[in-house]
Amino acid sequence: MKKITVVTVIIFALILSSGHALAFTSGGAPIETEQCSEIEMALILTINPTLSVSGSTASFRLSVSCISSVNNIHTTLQLQQWNNGTWSNFGSPWTATASTWRLSTSGTRAVTAGRTYRLKVTIVASNSSTTASAIAYSG
């Protein structure tokens, strides 16, 4: 058990020292991030975007949790459609904000029936001394 813990700590330290950080949603999906320090990445704890499509309606939910010192979360949400082997933006983006360490939002958007979609979420979280950002996608 100690060997696994030591190896995990070493791998984590190597990732952070490389200048790139990788965070994960609670479901285990990777979150793309800008180059962040360990302190910046420690601001955002979880990002959970979900999207379900039924006919011509896409329903989304997003929850974001940060450390308790975060006092501002700004999110930009964008539907993306699968077209000819690549994802492209579909419709206009929209935003949600919170003046606390947690954010939760949900709603619906009109889509074209029979197409494949995902939700792209860009998060910017900040407190009095640091700002962190991350990008996550629905599964």
- pLDDT band with cut points at 50, 70 and 90 for residue 37: low
Residue 11 lies in a domain: no
Residue 102 lies in a domain: yes
The tens digit of pLDDT for each residue in 95-125 reads 999 999 999 999 999 999 999 999 999 999 9
Q: Residue 46's closest CA among 28, 34, 64? A: 64
- For residue 68, the enclosing domain spans 22-137
Rounded Cα distance between 98 and 7, Å, is 37
In the chain, the number of structural domains is 1
Residue 2 lies in a domain: no
Q: What is the CATH number of the domain that holds 28?
A: 2.60.40
pLDDT: is 31 or 28 the higher one?
A: 31
Look at residue 23 and tell me whether its pLDDT is greater than 50: no
Q: What is the token pair recorded at 111? A: 């889509």
Q: What percent of the chain has pLDDT over 70?
A: 71
Angle at 57 between CA 60 and CA 44, to 5 degrees: 10
List the end-to-end C-alpha distance of the chain, in Å, as a whole number. 32
- pLDDT band with cut points at 50, 70 and 90 for residue 87: very high
Element (H, E) at 121: strand 117-126
